[in-house]
Amino acid sequence: MDGDATVESELGPFSLILPLPYRIAFILVLGVWAWGVNLHYLYLLKIDVPSLIKYSSRTSSPLPHYQRTYALATIVSAPLLISLLFFWTLTRGHPSAVRAWDIIPQSYLFLLILFFILPYKRLSPHGRSRFLTTLKRISVGGLAETQDGKFGDILLADVLTSYAKVMGDLFVSLCMFLTAGKSSTGKPDRGCGGQYIVPVIISVPSLIRLRQCLIEYMRVRNSPQKSAGQGWGGQHLANALKYSSAFPVIILSALQRGYDPNRIGLSQTGLYQLWLISLFLNSFYSFYWDVAKDWDLTFFSSLFSPHNKNPPSHQIHSPSSPPLFLASAHHTRHPNQHPWGLRRHTHFHTPQIYYTAIAIDLLLRCTWSLKLSPHLDHWNDLEG
């Protein structure tokens, strides 16, 4: 009973219901549903996402891509629900039972990975094959040419940066499952496997995007015919700097987690202050890039130029711009008449949608970095 009380003190109510492996699985499955919703909404706006990413389906199915994505999401969701119900039936919220039955959520994670790897002919074979081919290319920092689907490569690499924390937790879950005396459904041990393994894994997506930015810069520099507005490629170097700014946050987080004054030669307070500075630079530089470059909004120019209330849009878009914010002529205004901080061409009817997106983006940019802090480990149960 004492052991069970100890386990109960380590696991909060949320972890007893959704331990780490299930939180990882939930976020992965939610990503499939979110992609379907994205495709669905853009389909209603008559934006052909498959054409943007140079994806041509080989199936003769009359169903639009978003419906096939929903079908795929349903297929991976059903086993997750069954697994959860089975797990809850066996454990009934008892901490010792939750730790003992970690094989159940780990089995689902294993099957989910196999589902995307094995070539099942009846379950979106071409789509999954394209996903794996793109993943293989970008995993070494590759980048296709524009006509071969460069936008799709950038999009997937950006998705990986959003899932960097999930990738780290996936390793932690597997490491704890394979380590004697530990359970993947117990309290997450983010030092499992060594102090620097998880930070390295979290850094990989940013490294991928960094190399892609450098590839784009070299292509611009080596191009014999530069298109109008392309410039000398400086925007790609600035974008590379954005992804580079994530590394100090990750490294300093790792040093704080395994703080050793004899090895670091810096006080814990000084290390924390450096981390805060790095956190601020990374979060707000990324936020600025999202709003001013990827979304091409005039928010910052309007904010710092009060006399220029409605500056015209530059109409220059980053190749990594999220599809939901692609420029459109659906709502075109006079060059000097557009809502404060936005642009001439918009997709959404009300400015409040853009202002809400800006606020959410700022929140998410800060949250991603804060979750790396060892001072906030007690909040890790809520990352789902």
Is residue 216 a contact partner of residue 236, using CB atoms and an 8 Å limit?
Answer: yes
Largest separation between any pair of C-alpha atoms in the chain: 75
List of residues 6+ apart from 57 with CB closer than 8 A: 50, 65, 126, 127
Closest CA to 316 of 336, 340, 343: 343
- Hey, which residues does 318 pair with through a beta bridge? none
The pLDDT value given to residue 319: 44
Closest CA to 139 of 147, 151, 131: 131
pLDDT in tens, the chain (384 residues): 445 555 545 678 888 899 999 999 999 999 999 999 999 988 988 888 888 888 876 665 678 889 989 998 999 999 999 999 999 999 998 999 999 999 999 999 999 988 887 766 666 677 778 888 899 899 887 898 888 889 999 999 999 998 988 999 999 999 999 998 899 998 888 888 777 888 899 999 999 999 999 999 998 888 776 655 567 788 899 999 999 999 998 888 888 877 777 777 788 888 889 988 998 999 999 999 999 988 888 888 887 775 555 544 443 344 444 444 444 444 444 555 678 888 887 777 788 888 999 999 998 888 766 666 655 554 554 443
H or E segment and range at residue 211: helix 197-222
What is the C-alpha separation between 309 and 206, in angstroms, rounded? 35
In the block, which residue shows the tokens 């998880």? Answer: 198
The pLDDT value given to residue 367: 77
Handedness of CA 288, 290, 291, 293 (dihedral sign): positive
* Side chain identity at residue 378, one-letter code: H
* 88 three-class SS: helix
Query: Nearest 5°: CA angle at 170, between 166 and 176?
Result: 140
| Cα 383 to Cα 19, 91, 188, 252, 379, distances in angstroms | 11, 22, 12, 21, 7
